[in-house]
Structure 1
Amino acid sequence: MELEWVPSACTLPTVEQPLRVAEFDDLFAKAVRVERPADGELAFAFPASPELAGAAATLAARETACCSFFTFTRTVSAEELTLAVSVAEPHIEVLTALAARVGS
C-alpha cells in the first residue's frame, strides 16, 4: 500500500499507517453518500446507527491524536450520521488522497 501522501506532521508510527488507512477504508465502505463541498473538506453520510457513530468517533479521536491537522465533526440525526473532515490549506493533498480512497 503506497502511503507517500502521509505528511511528516503525522506522528503515527509508519508501520501502523497502513492499518489506519484500512480502518478508514472499512468505514468509508459503509458511507451512503460522499461530498466534497470545498478543497479542504469532505463529508461522509452513513445510516444512523450507534455502532457506526461509535466507530466513527473512535477512529476520528485516534486520528486526531496523531494528525492534529484534521478536524472531524460528527452530526447525528434519527436518519443519518455525518462525519465531516476538514484540513487547512497546507494539508489539502492529504484530504485529496483520502477522497481518492473512497470506493478503492
Structure 2
Amino acid sequence: MDQDTSGDAPGTRLAWADVEACTLPTADRPLRVAEFDDLFTTSLRSIDQSSDTHAHLVLTGDHELAHRARRLSEAETACCSFFTFTISEPQPGHVSLDIDVPPAHADVLTALLDRARAALAAAS
C-alpha cells in the first residue's frame, strides 16, 4: 500500500492517503497530500501526540487559516470517514487542530504526523 511518490522527500510516503478505507480517487490523492503538506509547511507550529489515536496541532497564519483548515479537514473526512478533526480558533490566526482516529487506523495518523513533523523540522 505504501508507495513512494515522485516529488516527495526521500523516505516520505503516501501511506495515510493510500489506505483501503479512503474513497478519494487514486489520482487525486497526491493533490490532497500536497494540500496538507502546504498547510503544515506554512502554518504548523507544534505537534502533541498524546496517544496512538490522538494528536493536537497548533497552527498560526492569516485570518483565513481557520477556514482553510476546516475546508481541508472536511474534504479529508468526506473520503476517509475514520478521521475526526476538531478545529478551534482561540484567537484570529491561531488554530488548534485535534485529530482522532480509531485504533485500527493509528498507523494512518502516524503517517500523517510523520509528514507534519518533517515539515516542522524543515521550517526550523
Q: Secondary structure at the match of 1:100?
A: helix
Q: Please say if 1:98 is aligned against 2:97.
A: no
Q: Secondary structure at the match of 2:64?
A: helix
In structure 1, the gaps of 5 or more residues are none
In structure 2, the gaps of 5 or more residues are 6-12, 120-124
Displacement of 1:34 = 1.1
Q: 1:21 aligns with which of 11, 33, 37?
A: 33
Aligned identity (percent) is 43
Q: 2:85 aligns with which of 68, 72, 80?
A: 72
Describe the superposition over 1:31-72 as per-residue Cα deviations: whole angstroms up to 9, x where unpaired.
111111111012210126431101000000101100000000
Cα RMSD of the aligned pairs, angstroms, is 1.5
Q: Secondary structure at the match of 1:68?
A: coil
1:31 maps to what in 2?
Answer: 44
1:36/1:43 contact within 8 Å kept: yes
2:15/2:111 contact within 8 Å kept: no
Larger radius of gyration: 2
2:14 maps to what in 1?
Answer: 3
TM-score (ref. length: structure 1):
0.91
AA partner of residue 65 (structure 1): A
